[in-house]
Amino acid sequence: MEILAPKGLYDEEQVVLNRFLVSVDVARLNPENYVENYMDYSLLCSLIKDVFLSEEKLLEKLAQNILLKIQTQWSEIHAVKILIRKVNPAFEGISCQSVHVRLDWMNEDI
């Protein structure tokens, strides 16, 4: 999923729209129940978009908030991997294709 948003730690990142690529992998239990409790990917994309519309600046916190929304929406989640990649970040004097934050979570109670 590609998102344009003014996110980042530095003030100048709050002024321009930065390009982000967001990848979310979700592992669920009870595959026989998928028909009744399917994962609506349009809803998943909407949840991610809502998180990026928030006032939060840090990528790490955005990833945590995406995880919380997924856990709230779908109860049979076994594991989640979230990767948020900022494309062409503006670092003074440094050329960088991208930087990323990754959050891995596994439900140990299931």
The pLDDT value recorded for residue 34 is 57
Say if residues 87 and 100 touch (Cβ distance below 8 Å). Answer: no
CATH number at residue 33: 3.30.1130.10
pLDDT in tens, 44-74: 999 999 999 999 999 999 999 999 999 999 8
**Is the pLDDT score of 85 beyond 90?**
yes
Mean pLDDT of the chain: 88
> Which domain, by its residues, includes 69?
2-106
- The domain tally of the chain equals 1
The pLDDT value recorded for residue 110 is 66
